[in-house]
Amino acid sequence: MTTAINIFLPFSRPLSGYRLNLATAVILLLGALLLYPVQGYADQPAELTDLSLEELLQVKIRTVTGSSRYEQESSEAPARVSIIDADTIRRFGYRTLADALQGETGINMTYDRNYDYVGYRGLSRPGDYNTRVLVLLDGIRLNDEVYHQAPVGADFPLDMDLVERIEIIRGPSNSLYGNNAFFLTVNVITVSAGRNGVNAASSVDTRARVTGRLTAELDPKGADWSLLVSGTMFNAPGSDLYEKAYDTPTTNNGVSKGCDYESGGSFFVKAEKGDLTLLGGFVRRRKGIPTGAYDVTYNDRSNTSWDERSFADLSYQLGNGAGDSLKLRTYYNGYYYKERYAYPPSDDGQDQTFYDYSRSAVWGAEIVADKILPFHNHLVAGIDYHYALLRDQRTSTASTGVSLDLHSPQHSLGVFLQNEWRILPNLLLDLGGRYDFFSPSLHTFNTKAALIYKINDDLVAKYLFGKSFRAPNAYETDFRDATSNMVANPNLRQESMISHELVLEYYHGPGQRLSLTGFHYAIDDLISLVVESDGATHFKNVDKVESIGFEAEGEWNWEAWSGKLGYSYQRAKDVQSGKRLSNSPDSLVKAKLSREFFNRRLTLSSELQYLSQLDTLTDAKGGDYVLVHLTAFARDLLFKNLDGTISVRNLFNKRYANPGSTEHVETSHPVALIPQDGRTVTFKLSYRF
């Protein structure tokens, strides 16, 4: 632990005037680990040559469940799937799902000081609310029913310490999961109780963010049941932000003090008995809005948003989920949102504070069966019924009362079928399709095909085709507001996409993997917020978008070392104008490097992220920066069962910003780029009783 402190303390002061380019960052990233004293090798685990054949195969072969709804080798999955396991989460000190996704090839995250948004393969339009990403928790849909927003930041209802692994299914998965599985599906697998006892964890960072978690596990020996219960609380005063657009004497010279606060908590329970599993969870979050969005009074602490998400799932599974099995589930998904916007009083002194509310409550049921058929076929089929009992939107002002009160219940039905046919021992053909109906009148049928050829034991080639969709959400079709001159558009159509991918994956020895992916997406009827000639704004199907590019990624493990390097190039453009989309970087570089010491008791990990220049909603440019993160993770620190972590995010205190959306730009003080946090050091302790 003393060594780790010596590494981090020299960077505790700002590196004034230091300019970091990509080459310098790579050298420093490697040097930080290469120069670490080589010691403790006598305590290292056995060499790979000492492992049994079964152990070697276990290291080499990774299995996934989300790409076909049953367990299969990732090399045979009809998609390119990335896996972030629990060990990686600990080694790199990820505190949120957004942190974990940010380190993955091809993904760029955007944070507007309220929510985190996922961009992938060039599409991350400001203000899109994560509608083209589906987030699942043990297969449970978490996207809400008003905005279809996928929670990935502090609004995600699970502590990262409770994650067993994260499956990132790249490309469309509508043929299995329906709406929102447009670009990316993220399936978070939770841990199960594996012991009897209590685990407590607490962390604090240099921005005074404090978290605490308490987890209890029951797994009686010889019993067929287990129980895990966990609660997490967090509180953060946030950062003082400077916005150049507000740099006037009447707006505190552009400094927003004490308005970036965030607090909340989550609860999670998982009970298992035989083939029956019960999951439940809840998260509540309160977040200050420091950016002046929607032209609110700047530097006013009362600009606040509240979120609540809840879920429950009861499932019963016959079989092991990898052939001749049946899974029945019923689920509930709840969502509540409220935002308070502070405005100056009217000329006659009336309070102009504006409130925006939404809530949804969904009950659903699903049946999924998979069956091994003759002639080397593996069929999976399912029915998903989804009823939104509540899908409400409401606005009001303090002086005039309710201005909008919408209730639009909706039900939907999805029926899907996918078959894997092993034509030859080394040649597979996957064909799938799904029919979806959304009341009152949306019908859509989407297909997927994959041809997978194992050239040899180590080399796999895949061709992936998809026809996918995204249905408009209630906010896009129904919301209206006279103050902002926004009108509803109930005639919105679904977005549709045709995608082609070519994937080449090479496995060489345990833990060694190379992949190369080329892709082409063509999207029609993209839903965009437009301003008409009369000044009215509404959502409309107007854009046709094309995205083309490639991703290259390498992953390796060697003795005490492990690493991952990824590069992605994408070009997403509006077909009519030929212009690049906003918030769409051409190049992304992601690198990870870890080294273990003292028989895995200490792990040093570093991460580098590069994002090329991008366009904003104004003439300003963003991106073109390098971030470096370092983490030291120690097991059995000082005494047994006590683990400690020191993590430094943005090691070189790089000043950078993320693009703002229309609520930040279309104001009296347009904010094109929203500043992000500088260097932040986090200290965490975890103890198992």
State the pairing for strand pair 133-137/184-190. Answer: parallel
For residue 628, what pLDDT is reported?
A: 98
Q: What is the pLDDT of residues 508-547, one digit of tens each?
A: 877 789 999 999 999 999 998 887 878 788 899 988 999 9
Q: What is the CA radius of gyration of the chain?
A: 25
- Burial (CB count within 10 angstroms: exposed 0-12, middle 13-18, buried 19+), residue 222: exposed
Residue 634 has pLDDT above 90, yes or no: yes
Over residues 305-323, mean pLDDT: 90
For residue 483, what pLDDT is reported?
A: 75
Cβ distance 631 to 76 under 8 Å? Answer: no
Sign of CA dihedral 32, 36, 38, 42: negative
pLDDT band, residue 319 (cuts 50/70/90)? confident
Residue 5 has pLDDT above 60, yes or no: no
Ordered alpha helix ranges (H), 20-173: 22-34, 53-60, 86-91, 97-102
Distance of CA 344 to the CA centre of its chain: 37
pLDDT band, residue 61 (cuts 50/70/90)? low
Q: In the beta sheet, which residues pair with residue 592?
A: 564, 607
**pTM given for the model:** 0.90
Over residues 597-625, mean pLDDT: 94
For residue 23, what pLDDT is reported?
A: 43
Cβ distance 83 to 138 under 8 Å? Answer: no
Residue whose pair of structure tokens reads 């960052």 in the numeric block: 25
Cβ distance 194 to 215 under 8 Å? Answer: no
Q: What is the pLDDT of residues 556-603, one digit of tens each?
A: 998 899 999 999 999 999 998 899 999 999 999 999 999 999 988 999
For residue 252, what pLDDT is reported?
A: 85
Helix or strand or coil: residue 363?
strand
Helix or strand or coil: residue 227?
strand
Q: Measuring CA to CA, how many Å separate 612 from each of 31, 567, 569, 627? A: 24, 11, 10, 12
For residue 321, what pLDDT is reported?
A: 64
Q: What is the pLDDT of residues 350-405, one digit of tens each?
A: 899 999 999 999 999 999 999 999 999 999 999 999 999 999 999 999 888 999 99
Residue 11 has pLDDT above 60, yes or no: no
The whole-angstrom separation of Cα 328 and Cα 309 is 23
pLDDT band, residue 60 (cuts 50/70/90)? very low
Pull the structure tokens for residue 680.
């932040």
State the pairing for strand pair 304-318/276-288. Answer: antiparallel
Q: What is the pLDDT of residues 194-247, one digit of tens each?
A: 889 999 999 999 999 999 999 999 999 889 999 999 999 999 999 999 999 999
Cβ distance 492 to 476 under 8 Å? Answer: yes
| Nearest by Cα to 139 from 180, 185, 82 | 185
pLDDT band, residue 55 (cuts 50/70/90)? very low
The mean-pLDDT minimum among 2-16, 168-182, 276-290, 322-336 falls in 2-16
Residue 46 has pLDDT above 70, yes or no: no
The whole-angstrom separation of Cα 534 and Cα 485 is 10
pLDDT band, residue 322 (cuts 50/70/90)? low
State the pairing for strand pair 197-205/80-85. Answer: unpaired
The whole-angstrom separation of Cα 290 and Cα 259 is 5
Q: Over 486-550, what HEC string results?
A: ECCCCCCCCEEEEEEEEEEEEECCCCCEEEEEEEEEEEEEEEEEEECCCCCEEEEEEEEEEEEEE
For residue 536, what pLDDT is reported?
A: 82
CB hemisphere CA count around 686 (13 angstroms): 17
Beta strands in 398-492 (DSSP E): 401-407, 410-424, 427-438, 442-454, 459-470
Over residues 247-274, mean pLDDT: 93
- Who wins on pLDDT, 28 or 144? 144
Q: What is the pLDDT of residues 419-458, one digit of tens each?
A: 999 999 999 999 999 999 999 999 999 999 999 999 998 9
For residue 532, what pLDDT is reported?
A: 81
For residue 13, what pLDDT is reported?
A: 35
For residue 518, what pLDDT is reported?
A: 97
Q: What are phi and psi of 113, to 5 degrees?
A: 70, 15
- Mean per-residue pLDDT of the chain: 89
Helix or strand or coil: residue 283?
strand
The whole-angstrom separation of Cα 355 and Cα 402 is 9
| DSSP letter string, 212-226 | EEEEEEE--TT-SEE
pLDDT band, residue 249 (cuts 50/70/90)? confident
The whole-angstrom separation of Cα 388 and Cα 407 is 11
Residues 6+ apart with CB under 8 A from 448: 78, 172, 173, 174, 175, 176, 418, 430, 431, 432, 433, 464, 465, 466, 467
The whole-angstrom separation of Cα 634 and Cα 304 is 38
Pull the structure tokens for residue 283.
């998260």
Per-domain residue ranges of the chain: 2-688
| DSSP letter string, 148-213 | -PPP-STTSSS-GGGEEEEEEEES--HHHH-TT-SSEEEEEEEP---SSEEEEEEEEETT--EEEE
Residue whose pair of structure tokens reads 């276990």 in the numeric block: 58
Residue 163 has pLDDT above 60, yes or no: yes
User: Best-predicted range by mean pLDDT among 99-108, 481-490, 508-517, 526-535?
Assistant: 99-108
Q: What are phi and psi of 501, to 5 degrees?
A: -135, 145
Element (H, E) at 571: strand 561-574
| Nearest by Cα to 266 from 170, 159, 160 | 159
The whole-angstrom separation of Cα 461 and Cα 29 is 33
Can you identify the CATH homologous superfamily of domain 2-688?
TonB-dependent receptor, beta-barrel domain (2.40.170.20)
Q: In the beta sheet, which residues pair with residue 606?
A: 593, 630
- Burial (CB count within 10 angstroms: exposed 0-12, middle 13-18, buried 19+), residue 485: middle
Over residues 52-65, mean pLDDT: 55
The whole-angstrom separation of Cα 471 and Cα 475 is 12
For residue 509, what pLDDT is reported?
A: 74
For residue 19, what pLDDT is reported?
A: 37
